[in-house]
Amino acid sequence: MNIKKYKALLFILLPILGYSQKNPLELWYTKPASQWEETLPLGNGRLGIMPDGGIRTEKLVLNDITLWSGSSQDANNYKAYTFLPQIRELLLANKNSDAEKLINENFVCTGPGSGSGDGANVQFGCYQVLGNMTLQFDYKTKSEPLNYTRNLDIETAIAATQFTLDGVTYKREYFAGFGDDALFVRLSSSKKGKLNFIVQLNRPEHFKTTNGADNSLVMTGQLNNGIDGKGMRYKAKVKAQLKDGEAVFKNDRIEIKNATEVVLFVSAGTNFKDKAFESSVDKILDAAMQKKYQDQKKTHIQNYQKLFNRVALSFGKSTKKTVPTNERLDAFMKDSDSDTGLPVLFYQYGRYLSISSTRVGLLPPNLQGLWAHEVQTPWNGDYHLDVNVQMNHWALETGNLSELNLPLKDLVKEMVPFGEKTAKAYYNADGWVAHVITNVWGFTEPGESASWGIAKAGSGWLCNNLWNHYLYTSDQTYLAEIYPIIKGAAQFYNSMLVKDPETGWLVTSPSVSPENSFFLPNGQDAHVCMGPTIDNQIVRELFNNVITASKKLGLDTNLSTNLEHRLQLLPPAGVVSPDGRIQEWLKPYKEPDPQHRHVSHLYGLYPAPLITPESTPELAEAAKKTLEVRGDDGPSWSIAYKMLFWSRLKDGNRAYKLLKTILRPTLATNINYGAGGGVYPNLLSAGPPFQIDGNFGATAGIGEMLIQSHAGFIEFLPAMPDAWLKEGEVKGLKAEGNFTINMKWEKGKVTQYEILSPSAEKVKIKVNGELKEITSSKL
Ligand code: FUC
């Protein structure tokens, strides 16, 4: 084979084999974590472990993505629909506050709902920490350690701690297995027999530890279901393999004495969809212990890299790897342009966090992904449907992790029967609806307070995520699977829309613009309204998608004809207010909080493709004004959302400014609704508190700065900041239509590119400002 042919073959094979990473992709520190937000997150999509790297005591927080308190419930108020006419009349008469009162009395969920976000002991429930594994060391010396480092290598999904004490080097290595489905901690000392420590398992409540008959330490318990205490059951089990020394098993501990090397195996599970979870835990542990540690580690790395190495990125050379990550963040605040490696690391960290916090066949990442260290996680660690869970998935398609969208699809599919009951109970409507929050128990009812709980964009917004996966994969079997879901969501909106007499448009009623409020002409502060812009945009987009799907699948001609007719009667994708912004409500109300964190009325700009600079230039201009007034701050997810908006508006420097804002170092953990988002030293995003949507949103934002494909063509480098123009390379990013993109650029110009797809296809692209049609290369 000649060299040219060999090179071509390599180029074709690379997307399958994976790309090697040019930038060192590592987080590292010179001190143990002093609070949980400094610990390093590891996860295999089901089990999580966060080591703090403590020297004399190490605490490792354990998680299982399925571990929820609460239980399935029916919190529908089946009389609610009888109040609907009255609520709507009050809204038509501009008596929004009276409507809100009536909703609070008769139109919210029954019972405590989310428990005001503190729902661990009510039926809504809460995603909880599985437990803590603590290791208490006895080094038999009072000396202080030297050369301490701890790190997380996201190329291998392995963390490590290392230090020297009295001439002995101690090493710990941790990973959440992508081979056997267990957690692994390997400890070693450079001199024989120096490992002396106690292993314990505990959690803040509902636990019992025992000494398993098979030389193990076992923790079991049952969480509160919000009724009689008999909720979800769990089991966590630890076993140890030693080189030298001995392990003594006591009721609440394993005592390791004089060992040179110890591997701790942790297996865990819950009875969420697994009645035999106790024996599953045992089996997984036994299988894991059969293999040599080095083989286990090798399989782990291979399996992880199958996903991770699909994408490689570089914005030129960066030398900042030599600085610990916390100091690197500080330096980035002062001079960001010289560290082009940090945005690459942050992008790949987002992909790492996705791979680690969800897996096909299981649950999507919740508000904290997979990682929680309390029994009352902020906002119940639930699935918020008014931006947060959707944002958790926005980076996946461009980031070539498409299949990780499927757990969300599964969750939504399971919500449908619950949402059908809710649609009937409150609106006497067809189809299904979900409001603002859901959990693993299928909650679809309005939240407990009208001010936020009556938002009804949740189900429609979820359908946008489901649809995007289709756009990127062109998978017709998948389309057939999601069709009943998106059709049911469209049927709901279609059967509950009412005519606004002033404009003649069909709108939702009652609703809210997520979590925001406005002033009525009489000065009263109100939330509840008719036809907030987000609902109008969601209904428009959803109807369009259902029409497209029904035609592709050759189904439901009558329904799609009806939706085509109804589309004509919907409000436009945006209305420009007298002051030049996109109006958030049907009327140009004054706002108590013009810089409110939610920017729901730009849903049509992102994620939906309803507003683009090319197709709707006036609305794009109005979107810019909206964003200028909203400002560039907020909790991290809000900053990330603004980064995405500015990317779609093709302003790379502004998007970059927002990225820098997200990367502001913080250690704050208070619940924040205003300005002040950032990242913790472990690069997890801070609202504060820790909320993973900021990571995933910013990852999506970087993807959107490099490639956009929502407007009928693939645009290369649509929103590049000056700082990244000099040189760069991208391999393996994806565009709509199942295209894989490789490209290189220099001095702001794309110098090389390649578009790959399963079969050669014609595709419109925009490269260096020029729009053209080319044929893709066969993958
Ligand atoms: C919504 C947001 C908050 C927070 C919470 C989980 O209520 O407005 O900022 O992200 O979800």
- Helix H segments across 554-598? 557-567
For residue 365, pLDDT beyond 50 = yes
- Give dist(CA 20, CA 312) in Å, integer: 7
| Closest residue to atom 6 of ligand 1, CA basis | 379
| Closest residue to atom 5 of ligand 1, CA basis | 379
pLDDT score recorded for residue 5: 44
CA-based radius of gyration for the chain: 27
| Residue range 294-319, pLDDT digits in tens | 999 999 999 999 999 999 999 998 76
Amino acid found at 174? Y
Short-list 426, 428, 418, 432, CA closest to 454: 426
- Give dist(CA 531, CA 533) in Å, integer: 6
Q: Tell me the best of 126, 390, 673 to mutate to test the pocket of ligand 1, counting ligand atoms within 8 Å of each CB and taking the most.
A: 673
- Give percent of the chain with pLDDT exceeding 90: 95
Ligand 1 atom with the shortest distance to the CA of 598 = 8
For residue 76, the CA-to-ligand 1 centroid distance in Å is 23
Q: Tell me the best of 379, 598, 642 to mutate to test the pocket of ligand 1, counting ligand atoms within 8 Å of each CB and taking the most.
A: 379
For residue 522, the CA-to-ligand 1 centroid distance in Å is 29
For the Cβ of 367 lying below 6 angstroms from any atom of ligand 1, the answer is yes
For residue 267, the CA-to-ligand 1 centroid distance in Å is 33
Amino acid found at 451? S
For residue 698, pLDDT beyond 90 = yes
Q: Tell me the best of 637, 642, 695 to mutate to test the pocket of ligand 1, counting ligand atoms within 8 Å of each CB and taking the most.
A: 637
For the Cβ of 384 lying below 6 angstroms from any atom of ligand 1, the answer is yes
For residue 697, the CA-to-ligand 1 centroid distance in Å is 14
Q: Which residues pair with 734 in a beta bridge?
A: 740
For residue 151, the CA-to-ligand 1 centroid distance in Å is 31
pLDDT score recorded for residue 12: 45
| Residue range 45-59, pLDDT digits in tens | 999 999 999 999 999
- Give dist(CA 29, CA 27) in Å, integer: 7
Reported as a pLDDT band with limits 50, 70 and 90, residue 415 is very high
| Closest residue to atom 10 of ligand 1, CA basis | 388
For the Cβ of 453 lying below 6 angstroms from any atom of ligand 1, the answer is no
pLDDT score recorded for residue 15: 47
For residue 502, the CA-to-ligand 1 centroid distance in Å is 33
Q: Please spell the DSSP secondary structure of 3-31, one letter per residue.
A: HHHHHHHHHHHHHHH-PPPSS--EEEESS
- Give dist(CA 342, CA 321) in Å, integer: 9
Amino acid found at 233? R
Tokens 């964190």 appear where?
597
For residue 584, pLDDT beyond 50 = yes
Structure tokens at 432: 């299904």
Reported as a pLDDT band with limits 50, 70 and 90, residue 23 is low
- Give dist(CA 575, CA 184) in Å, integer: 55
For the Cβ of 388 lying below 6 angstroms from any atom of ligand 1, the answer is yes
For the Cβ of 635 lying below 6 angstroms from any atom of ligand 1, the answer is yes
Short-list 372, 428, 359, 368, CA closest to 392: 368
- Give dist(CA 534, CA 512) in Å, integer: 9
For the Cβ of 379 lying below 6 angstroms from any atom of ligand 1, the answer is yes
For residue 623, the CA-to-ligand 1 centroid distance in Å is 22
Are the beta carbons of 123 and 76 closer than 8 angstroms?
no
Ligand 1 atom with the shortest distance to the CA of 693 = 10
CB 321: neighbour CB atoms within 10 A? 17
For residue 324, pLDDT beyond 70 = yes
Task: Name every residue whose Cβ is closer than 8 Å to that of residue 349 and which is 6 or more positions away in sequence.
Answer: 25, 27, 154, 683, 695, 699
| Residue range 182-240, pLDDT digits in tens | 999 999 999 999 999 999 999 999 999 999 889 999 999 999 999 999 999 999 999 99
Are the beta carbons of 495 and 430 closer than 8 angstroms?
yes
For residue 377, the CA-to-ligand 1 centroid distance in Å is 13
DSSP-based helix, strand, coil % in the chain, nearest 5: 35, 25, 40
Amino acid found at 412? V
For residue 500, the CA-to-ligand 1 centroid distance in Å is 30
- Give percent of the chain with pLDDT exceeding 70: 97
For the Cβ of 515 lying below 6 angstroms from any atom of ligand 1, the answer is yes
For the Cβ of 593 lying below 6 angstroms from any atom of ligand 1, the answer is no
Structure tokens at 641: 């959302």
Q: What is the dihedral of CA 456, 457, 459, 463, to 10 degrees?
A: 170
Lowest mean pLDDT among 8-17, 378-387, 426-435: 8-17
| Residue range 79-128, pLDDT digits in tens | 999 999 999 999 999 999 999 999 999 999 999 999 999 999 999 999 99
Q: Are strands 714-716 and 762-767 parallel, antiparallel or unpaired?
A: parallel
CA distances from 212 to 67, 128, 215, 251 (A): 22, 24, 6, 8
Q: Please spell the DSSP secondary structure of 84-148, one letter per residue.
A: HHHHHHHHHTT-HHHHHHHHHHHSS-STTTTTTT--TTSTT--B---EEEEEEE--S--PPPEEE
- Give dist(CA 595, CA 21) in Å, integer: 39
| Closest residue to atom 9 of ligand 1, CA basis | 673
Amino acid found at 480? A
Reported as a pLDDT band with limits 50, 70 and 90, residue 251 is confident
Mean predicted confidence (pLDDT) in 318-327: 81
For residue 56, the CA-to-ligand 1 centroid distance in Å is 37
Reported as a pLDDT band with limits 50, 70 and 90, residue 10 is very low
Mean predicted confidence (pLDDT) in 640-651: 98
Buried-state track 617-654, b at ≥16 Cβ within 10 A, e below 16 = eebbbbbbebbeebebbbbbbbbbbbbbbbbbbbbbeb
| Residue range 125-157, pLDDT digits in tens | 999 999 999 999 999 999 999 999 999 999 999
For residue 9, pLDDT beyond 60 = no
Q: Which residues pair with 772 in a beta bridge?
A: 765
Q: Are strands 233-243 and 146-153 parallel, antiparallel or unpaired?
A: unpaired
For residue 16, pLDDT beyond 70 = no
For residue 170, pLDDT beyond 70 = yes
- Give dist(CA 42, CA 356) in Å, integer: 7
pLDDT score recorded for residue 779: 86
Q: Tell me the best of 118, 368, 435, 597 to mutate to test the pocket of ligand 1, counting ligand atoms within 8 Å of each CB and taking the most.
A: 597
pLDDT score recorded for residue 84: 98
For the Cβ of 637 lying below 6 angstroms from any atom of ligand 1, the answer is yes
